Homo-oligomer: A and B are copies of this chain.
Amino acid sequence: MTRTPTPAKPSTPRRRGRPAGRSGPGRDSDARAHLLEVALRLFAEHGIAATPLSLIARKARVTPALLHYYFGSKDKLVDALVDEKLQPLSAALGQGLIRSGHDLRSALEVFVGTLIELLSANPWFPPLWVREVLSEGGQLRKRLIERVAPALAHRVRDLAAGAQAKGRLNADLDPRLLMVSLIGLTIFPLAAQPIWRAIYAADDITPEVLRRHVLALLLRGLELDDAN
């Protein structure tokens, strides 16, 4: 009922035609890049299917037709997002693991560190990932699962299995579950941030605090001393 029929309130209803642009020689007006950013934010917040082009357009202060002008269709917009935003980030995440050598401890320290760092710098990723990869029917599931995930998952499992065989890793762990545990301790908490911030205001929980917490838990566990 708060919805205005159509005229809405485009405070700057921008009249037709090409806008008088600062077309400096350096960069073109960058409208496309801006649209991608806005779309990414909204897709992360509401989910891809639940985000109409008209919403993206409104937030970007343009019309849906312009989205078609730049991207051709909603599907191709998603494609562009995957190619230009998701793949690069996923690749960067993968690098952290690959480059880290075969010592499991240092590999983990590097991986967790860069992971938390990258995710904090790209806060749209965790919620988007939860919706579109983790959830059944997510639109990015296939694309990301077929490319990025297996390489990482197998690498982690193999590192772990190797260490375990040599008695250097807690024998009660399942190497195949280690990758899931890693994600459950990093991407998941960041996606859940709005929830725990609502439960106990915790502005002092910085990415660095999270990193320390996760690595402490992974490397040493709770270190409970009994004594009831």
- Are A180 and B176 within 8 A (Cβ)? no
- Are B177 and A205 within 8 A (Cβ)? yes
A145 part of interface (Cβ distance < 8 Å):
yes
A179 smallest CB distance to B (angstroms): 8
Name the interface size band of chain A. 35 or more
- Which A49-91 residues sit within 8 Å CB-CB of chain B? 49-50
- Are B145 and A195 within 8 A (Cβ)? yes
A115 to B168 CA separation, bound complex (whole angstroms): 29
Q: Which residues from B are CB-within-8-Å of A227?
A: 168
- Which A148-206 residues sit within 8 Å CB-CB of chain B? 149-150, 153-154, 157, 163, 167-170, 172-174, 176-177, 179-181, 183-185, 188-189, 191-192, 194-196, 198-200, 202, 205
- Are A218 and B219 within 8 A (Cβ)? no
Q: Which residues from B are CB-within-8-Å of A108?
A: 222
- Are A153 and B222 within 8 A (Cβ)? no
Q: Which residues from B are CB-within-8-Å of A47?
A: 135, 137
Chain A residues within CB distance 8 Å of chain B: 45-47, 49-50, 102-105, 108, 127, 130-131, 133-137, 141, 145, 149-150, 153-154, 157, 163, 167-170, 172-174, 176-177, 179-181, 183-185, 188-189, 191-192, 194-196, 198-200, 202, 205, 209-210, 212-228
